[in-house]
Structure 1
């Protein structure tokens, strides 16, 4: 996916050191409460196809700028990891 200066690139194992550095930042830890190694384990599961979630780095003008993921929520019930249930 691209736009003017914006590109979404699937996360690979080569991105894990960058993501580990980001995960150590306070603004990241506000949203991702697990320790860095646990989070990297989740990302390895995604990269290696053991999780259906899709993970991307987004790049602005060619520079990695952020992380985003997408996935399918369960059709019954609600995901216990989500802080609130939708409307």
Structure 2
């Protein structure tokens, strides 16, 4: 019986996480793509992450909602 190694890649849709995903797949890992929705003003990051995941054959990317106010807030979701 052969077990496939699994990897979770934090996928933002940017170059670094896309490269990490490609490396994990090329090394034979069964990859799970995980992205976070943290209240950013633009949906574009998650759109890119979804596009990259599908292009790389990830059938069910996971998006987790997280409220950064639990950690004291963030400039990423501050309304100016």
Q: TM-score range by the shorter chain?
A: under 0.3
TM-score, scaled to structure 1: 0.24
Q: Going by fraction, where is strand more abundant, 1 or 2?
A: 1
Which structure is higher in helix share? 2
